[in-house]
């Protein structure tokens, strides 16, 4: 099997309030990976580490087999990034911002940029400080998609975009994928990923909980819904996440077949959606005690 | 790459450089119109105190507007960004000195005063510009690039404290300066060394920052 386009091995970064703990996963070419996790899970820190904006304390990030820490400046010519809140120098026309940006990328595709600007409803004569968040994100995407980048790193790119445009954007992103390109896409909107993502990586408390294909997730993760009498005395039942209320509980399991056997006839066991996983994992306390609903 | 970065700065920040450049321009006019005895002192002071502000204004504006991250995700190294700031101070200093010379040459030509000197500044005056650039730019820059505005405040604050302390205590500063100026080559080498040391410290501090 060929090596992944992007590989992260044992990445660690400690801040006073937060820690990224030995994060490892790979992203092969041709695939779109969704990066999900609750607020503060470490998604943005991870993406910034890939871009060299955050200096890791340990671990290695390789792109096309080359160390990004050593060759980041050269390799960033092939990596495009859109931050969760794109900012541009105020008072500058979009055309000027594009010209400045394009001057750093020999493979710049001017025709594609013009086409994207028209499709995204942006006027190159507009000034950057007249744009809304959604328009800034659209403009950042025109820059990212016109560089012939081989890796697109997108931090919450659909935030601030209307649903119709979100759908169109996801289709466009998927269309850019080929055997030398990949997309790493962080989002809170799990429905976006369920439609388009090939792989999903979940971060929680700075750790990778899983990094699998959507098919593998559907085959293994499930939600158990039952009465409170089924919960063990410590209230955890080995669930990855648990939500209780006066009538019963919802427990998240990473072994849906075992759960089916265990709770057969006593509880409802369903396959988990990404949203189920994200919501219920966020409900788990470190000591395994359930939250009261 | 350095030229691309310099062009980027000039295109994105020209609006915020207009006021300081106007001040420099007005100062330049005053310098040229002043009599020969005092105009070069004005030029030296203007060059040494205002020019270092230009790269600081550019860098601080990037930081304040949240675009420093966008600069750093371009295919440029952090070392290139540090080199840019040091190149900018040399570029603006050289540019202003050249403009000042051109203005004085024109003035002397119009007044038909010959011969027109190649340099309107003496060797000591060039060294003086260098000394002030070291204090006003090279000393605080590593702190600024490493810790942002806080670093700059500490840098300028400690510098002003040092100058006031030296002025208030009985030091032989003037004799030291005169003795140093008497050895221009050694002095130029020391200034170049300090400038390089400042650059290396800036590189170290800026390279380890998270954005």
DSSP B56-122: HHHHHHHHHTT-HHHHHTSS--HHHHHHHHHHHHHHHHHHHHHHHHHHHHHHHHHTT-SSPPS-SS-
pLDDT of amino acid A28: 95
Residue holding tokens 């919960």?
Answer: A231
pLDDT at B34 (0 to 100)? 65
Q: What does the block give as tokens for B46?
A: 């203007």
- DSSP-derived 3-state class of residue B171: coil
pLDDT of residue A288: 43
Residues A55 and A175 in one domain: yes
**What is the structure's pLDDT at B113?**
67
Please identify every stretch of chain A with a pLDDT value under 50, giving residue numbers as ranges.
1, 285-293
Hey, of B4, B9, B12, B205, which one would you mutate to test binding to chain A, going by the most A CBs within 10 A of its CB? Answer: B12
Phi, psi of A59 (to 5 degrees): 95, 175
- Do both A242 and A205 map to the same domain? no
Looking at the structure, tell me whether residues A191 and A236 fall in a common domain: no
User: Which portions of chain B are predicted below pLDDT 70?
Assistant: 30-43, 113-114, 116-117, 120, 170-171, 173
Which one of A214, A249, A282 terminates a domain?
A214
Look at A74 and B69 and tell me if their CB atoms are within 8 Å: no
Name every chain B residue with its beta carbon within 8 A of the beta carbon of A87: 65-67, 70
Contact criterion met (CB < 8 Å) for A73 and B65: no
Contact residues for B15 (Cβ-Cβ < 8 A; gap 6+): A91
Closest-CA residue of chain A to B210: A54
Distance from the first to the final alpha carbon of chain A: 46
A288 prior amide bond cis, ω within 30: no
- Report residue A61 as tokens: 């990030």
Cβ atoms A7, A26 nearer than 8 A: yes
pLDDT at res. B131: 84
Q: Which of A53, A154, A213, A34 is nearest to B209 (CA)?
A: A53
pLDDT of residue A286: 40
- pLDDT of A234 reads 60
Q: Within chain A, how many helices (H) and strands (E) appear?
A: 10, 15
Q: State the residue range of the domain holding A138.
A: 6-214
Bridge-based pairing state of the strands A58-63 and A66-67: antiparallel
pLDDT given at position B24: 73
Give yes or no: residues A245 and A148 share one domain.
Answer: no
Q: How far is B138 from chain A (nearest CA, A)?
A: 25
B77 to chain A, any CB pair closer than 8 A? The answer is yes
Residues of A in contact with B146 (CB under 8 A): none
Q: Please give the DSSP secondary-structure letter assigned to residue A109.
A: -
Assess whether A252 and A147 both reside in one domain. no
- ipTM score: 0.81
Helix (H) or strand (E) holding A252: strand A249-253
Average pLDDT score over chain A: 89
* Domain-located, residue A1: no
Give start and end residues of each alpha helix (H) in chain A.
43-51, 68-75, 94-102, 110-119, 133-145, 163-176, 190-196, 214-220, 256-262, 274-281
What is the pLDDT at residue A293?
A: 32
Q: What is the pTM of this model?
A: 0.84
Helices A133-145 and A163-176 meet at what angle, rounded to 10? 10
- Contact in structure between B64 and A89 (CB atoms under 8 Å): no
Burial class (CB in 10 A: 0-12, 13-18, 19+), B122: exposed
Q: Euclidean distance between the first and final Cα of chain B, in Å? A: 22
Residue finishing a domain among A214, A242, A264? A214
Nearest residue on chain B to A90, alpha-carbon basis: B65
> CATH code at A90?
3.40.50.300
Of the residues A214, A241, A260, the one at which a domain ends: A214
Closest CA to B211 of B75, B78, B49: B78
Q: What is the CA radius of gyration of chain B?
A: 19
Do A184 and A243 have their domain in common? no
Give yes or no: residues A268 and A208 share one domain: no
Strands (E), A68-119: 79-82
Total number of domains in chain A:
2
Q: DSSP 3-state assignment of A250? A: strand
Q: Are A236 and A289 within 8 A, CB to CB?
A: yes
Residue A26: the pLDDT is 95
pLDDT tens-place string over residues A73-114: 999 999 999 998 899 999 999 999 999 999 999 999 999 999
Claim to verify: residue A250 and residue A120 sit in the same structural domain: no
Q: Which of chain B's residues have a Cβ under 8 Å away from the Cβ of A91?
A: 15
């Amino acid at each position: 099997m060929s090596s992944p386009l992007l590989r992260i091995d044992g990445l660690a970064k400690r801040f006073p309030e937060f820690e990224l703990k030995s994060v490892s996963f790979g992203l092969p070419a041709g695939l779109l990976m969704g990066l999900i996790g609750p607020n503060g899970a470490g998604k943005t820190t991870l993406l910034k580490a890939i871009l060299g904006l955050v200096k890791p304390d340990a671990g290695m990030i390789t792109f096309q087999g080359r160390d990004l820490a050593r060759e980041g400046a050269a390799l960033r010519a092939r990596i495009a990034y859109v931050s969760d809140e794109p900012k541009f120098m105020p008072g500058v026309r979009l055309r000027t911002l594009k010209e400045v940006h394009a001057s750093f990328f020999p493979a710049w595709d001017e025709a594609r940029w013009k086409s994207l600007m028209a499709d995204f409803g942006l006027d190159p004569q507009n000034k950057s400080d007249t744009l809304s968040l959604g328009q800034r994100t659209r403009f950042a995407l025109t820059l990212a998609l016109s560089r012939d980048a081989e890796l697109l790193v997108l931090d919450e790119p659909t935030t601030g975009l209307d649903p119709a445009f979100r759908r169109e954007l996801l289709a466009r992103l998927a269309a850019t994928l080929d055997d030398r390109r990949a997309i790493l896409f962080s989002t809170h909107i799990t429905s976006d990923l369920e439609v388009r993502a090939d792989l999903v990586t979940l971060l929680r408390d700075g750790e990778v909980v899983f990094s699998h294909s959507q098919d593998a997730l559907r085959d293994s993760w499930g939600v158990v819904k039952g009465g409170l009498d089924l919960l063990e005395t410590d209230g955890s039942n080995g669930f990855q996440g648990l939500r209780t209320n006066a009538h019963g509980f919802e427990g998240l399991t990473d072994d849906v077949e075992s759960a089916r056997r265990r709770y057969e006839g006593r509880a409802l066991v369903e396959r988990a959606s990404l949203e189920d996983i994200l919501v219920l994992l966020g409900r788990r306390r470190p000591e395994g005690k359930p939250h009261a609903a | 790459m350095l030229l691309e970065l310099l062009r980027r700065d000039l295109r994105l920040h020209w609006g915020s450089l207009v006021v300081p450049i106007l001040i420099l321009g007005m100062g330049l006019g005053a310098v040229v119109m002043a009599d020969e005895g005092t105009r070069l002192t004005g030029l030296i002071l203007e060059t040494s105190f205002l020019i270092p502000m230009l790269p600081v204004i550019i860098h601080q504006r990037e930081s304040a507007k949240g675009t420093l991250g966008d600069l750093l995700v371009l295919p440029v190294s952090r070392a290139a960004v540090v080199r840019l700031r040091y190149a900018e101070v040399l570029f603006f200093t050289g540019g202003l000195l050249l403009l000042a010379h051109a203005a004085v040459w024109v003035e002397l030509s119009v007044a038909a005063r010959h011969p027109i000197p190649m340099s309107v500044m003496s060797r000591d005056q060039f060294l003086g510009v260098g000394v002030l650039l070291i204090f006003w730019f090279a000393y605080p820059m590593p702190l600024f690039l490493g810790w942002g505005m806080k670093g700059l405040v500490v840098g300028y604050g400690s510098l002003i404290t040092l100058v006031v302390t030296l002025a208030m205590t009985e030091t032989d500063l003037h004799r030291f300066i005169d003795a140093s100026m008497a050895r221009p080559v050694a002095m130029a080498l020391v200034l170049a060394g300090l400038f390089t040391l400042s650059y290396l410290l800036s590189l170290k501090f800026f390279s380890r920052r998270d954005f």
